[in-house]
């Protein structure tokens, strides 16, 4: 069975975006993200797909894009009409993991079914209008945490955190 895994970069105040853009430039996070998702299927909303297309696609990935428009074109992937459809397609294709990329509405709809989360905590109070849902530590266990200090390329301290569902949900 395919495991849905949420992956996101989240500011201390839960901001993940401003309109359709990230509110920061963090090359370490971008490199980590690419390393985690390469050669996997990705599920995302239409706006996330369109903003990701600006940066180009990650080789080996296959995108499942939520859109109510049956004619919506998806390159390197397929349009889906529901999260459930995406999970079924990934399962039928024998995908071990399905990475969930957002945006905010998609995260809210999938946090209850995700088996794990890979979160880059960006240690700043960012300005934005798209938010990640609150992480309930009664449901999620920190499996691994790696902390890093800001440097010449990354303007904020940050942490790579892997969460597993505790089974208490």
- The CATH number of whichever domain residue 73 belongs to comes to 3.40.430.10
Q: What is the per-residue pLDDT across 124-166, written as a single tens digit (0 to 9) for each? A: 999 999 999 999 999 999 999 999 999 999 999 999 999 999 8
Backbone angles phi, psi at 165, to 5 degrees: -70, 135
Place of tokens 């509110």: 23
Q: What is the per-residue pLDDT across 69-106, written as a single tens digit (0 to 9) for each? A: 999 999 889 999 999 999 999 999 999 999 999 999 99
Q: What Å distances lie between residue 65 and 48, 125, 133, 161, CA to CA?
A: 9, 29, 20, 25
Segments forming the whole domain that contains residue 116 = 3-165
Split into its structural domains, the chain has a count of 1
Q: What's the CA gap between 164 and 15, in Å, rounded? A: 22
């Amino acid at each position: 069975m395919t495991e849905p895994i949420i992956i996101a970069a989240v500011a201390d105040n839960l901001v993940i975006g401003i309109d359709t853009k990230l509110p920061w430039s963090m090359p370490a996070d971008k490199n980590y993200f690419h390393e985690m998702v390469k050669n996997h299927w990705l599920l995302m909303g239409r706006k996330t797909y369109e903003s990701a297309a600006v940066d180009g696609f990650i080789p080996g990935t296959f995108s499942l894009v939520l859109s109510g428009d049956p004619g919506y074109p998806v390159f390197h992937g397929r349009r889906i009409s529901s999260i459930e459809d995406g999970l079924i397609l990934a399962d039928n294709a024998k995908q071990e993991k399905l990475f969930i990329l957002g945006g905010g509405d998609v995260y809210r709809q999938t946090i209850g079914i995700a088996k794990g989360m890979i979160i880059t905590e960006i240690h700043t109070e960012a300005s934005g209008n798209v938010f990640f849902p609150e992480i309930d530590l009664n449901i999620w266990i920190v499996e691994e945490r790696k902390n890093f200090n800001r440097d010449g390329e990354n303007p904020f301290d940050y942490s790579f955190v892997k969460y597993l569902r505790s089974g208490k949900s």
